[in-house]
């Protein structure tokens, strides 16, 4: 069993740089968990503390039932895959994969079996005699993963392992690592700054910023129910649109007023928004929750605003529209064939059942 838990873990580097503060987190046995966040949020430091490569300033780390604060990395039963692969250039693929086992004095036959099994899983059997310089980036990454697999660790740690690969190879390796997780049934902890990687790979995602965890949830919950404006804007591509404005109540109906446009709130939102009447809030809408009126059959006028499309980015099955609404630019994601005419007025329809509101003071989600 390899659950991993962090209890009130903080890390300060010299100069009073707090990389992480008071992180408490439980990772289930066999879970694939992803730490994601912008550069400097503390995700690598958290991973390195789990690996034992960095010592926490305070707090406890458990792997399985054992507190490992004082256990050196080599005795933690973990294997780590780094962004730069960290292969030994003078050794063959076989020797790179066998190296850790030889150090631990495994019998020769056992090493041979493990290396060949891992090579088969990763489809690199034919590369075992090559040196790293004779391999492509994707092949090198497989060897680095192979070197982790042969150890049969309790926990795999990945630190941005796909960052050096081209876009196509990244997508391919992403699937391969997921398949590997299903096959090996081992706890995997994966660090990335790429929200698409996080969304596509994680059973659960830990969203971090400035050394703090903002939300831990499965991908769909993160997307549909972000706890604050940061998570809402970080998860999703193109990102959620934010508009500052005021909540107003007129004749028993409630509206969001941005200055240039006004839209009516659905009934279910009226009660939770009551405390915000006549106050400033942040309105959020995802690009796919807006439509060109020409292409929707049922578009109530109170959900519709005037916009001008300034740029269209055709993506094939979909298109991104860069819209001028007078005050706030918006990005919409529409069907690839539903394109408006550039620089002509259009009616933009909001799906008001999908909108979000955030508190202007705290950035926390209201609804």
Query: Which residues contact ligand ATP (rule: CB under 6 A)?
Result: 13, 17, 19, 37, 39-45, 193
Residues 6+ away with beta carbon under 8 Å from 99: 88, 91, 147
Distance of CA 239 to the CA centre of its chain: 13
In the bound complex, what is the minimum distance in angstroms from residue 139's beta carbon to ligand ATP?
Answer: 24
The candidate with the shortest Cα–Cα distance to 223, out of 241, 237, 206, 236, is: 236
* Least distance between ligand ATP and beta carbon 50 (Å): 12
- Rounded distance, CA 344 to CA 331, Å? 16
Q: Which is nearer to ligand ATP, 47 or 68 (CB)?
A: 47
The residue among 24 and 341 lying less far from ligand ATP, judged by its C-beta, is 24
Enter the DSSP assignment of 67: E
**Alpha-carbon distance 206 to 215, whole Å?**
6
Distance in angstroms (rounded) separating the CA atoms of residues 43 and 191: 6
Residue number, 14 or 316, with CB nearest to ligand ATP: 14
CB of 21 to ligand ATP, least distance (A): 11
Pick 42 or 132: Cβ nearer ligand ATP = 42
Query: Residue 143 is encoded by which pair of tokens?
Result: 């060897």
Structure tokens, 331: 């990005």
Shorter beta-carbon distance to ligand ATP: residue 19 or 321: 19
Q: How far is the C-alpha of 36 from the C-alpha of 31, rounded, in Å?
A: 16
Tell me the CB-side half-sphere exposure of residue 276, using CA atoms within 13 A.
Answer: 26
Q: Which two tokens stand for residue 163?
A: 């960052």
Least Å distance, CB 211 to ligand ATP, is 7
We find the least distance from the C-beta atom of residue 355 to ligand ATP, in angstroms, to be 31
- Which residue, 208 or 305, has its beta carbon nearer to ligand ATP? 208
**Whole-number minimum distance, CB 4 to ligand ATP, in Å?**
17
The residue with its CB nearest to ligand ATP is 44
């Amino acid at each position: 069993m390899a659950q991993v838990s962090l209890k009130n873990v903080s890390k300060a580097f010299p100069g009073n740089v707090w990389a992480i503060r008071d992180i408490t987190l439980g990772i289930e046995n066999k879970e694939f968990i992803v730490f994601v966040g912008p550069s400097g949020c503390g995700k690598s430091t958290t991973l390195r503390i789990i690996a034992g490569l960095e010592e926490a300033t305070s707090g406890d780390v458990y792997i399985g039932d054992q507190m490992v604060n004082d256990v050196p990395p080599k005795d933690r039963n973990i294997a780590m895959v780094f962004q730069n692969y960290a292969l030994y250039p003078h050794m063959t693929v076989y020797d790179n994969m066998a190296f850790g086992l030889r150090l631990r004095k495994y019998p020769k036959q056992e090493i041979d079996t493990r290396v060949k099994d891992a090579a088969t899983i990763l489809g690199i059997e034919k590369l075992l005699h090559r040196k790293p310089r004779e391999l492509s980036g994707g092949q090198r990454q497989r060897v680095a993963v192979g070197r982790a697999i042969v150890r049969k660790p309790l926990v795999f740690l990945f630190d941005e392992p796909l960052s050096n690969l081209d876009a196509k190879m990244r997508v391919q390796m992403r699937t391969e690592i997921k398949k590997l997780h299903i096959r090996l049934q081992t706890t995997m902890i994966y660090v990335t700054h790429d929200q698409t990687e996080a969304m596509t790979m994680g059973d659960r995602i830990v969203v971090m910023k400035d050394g703090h965890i903002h939300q831990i949830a499965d991908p769909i919950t993160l997307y549909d129910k972000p706890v604050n404006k940061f998570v809402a804007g970080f998860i999703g591509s193109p990102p959620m649109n934010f508009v500052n404005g005021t909540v107003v109540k007129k004749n028993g109906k409630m509206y969001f007023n941005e200055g240039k446009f006004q839209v009516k709130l659905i009934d279910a939102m009226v009660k939770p928004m009551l405390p915000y009447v006549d106050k400033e809030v942040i309105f959020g809408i995802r690009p796919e929750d807006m439509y060109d009126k020409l292409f929707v059959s049922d578009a109530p006028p109170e959900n519709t605003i005037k916009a001008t499309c300034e740029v269209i980015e055709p993506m094939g099955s979909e298109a991104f529209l860069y819209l001028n609404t007078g005050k706030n630019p918006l990005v919409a994601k529409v069907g690839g064939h539903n394109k408006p005419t550039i620089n002509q007025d259009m009616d933009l329809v909001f799906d008001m059942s999908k909108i979000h509101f955030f508190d202007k003071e705290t950035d926390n989600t209201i609804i």
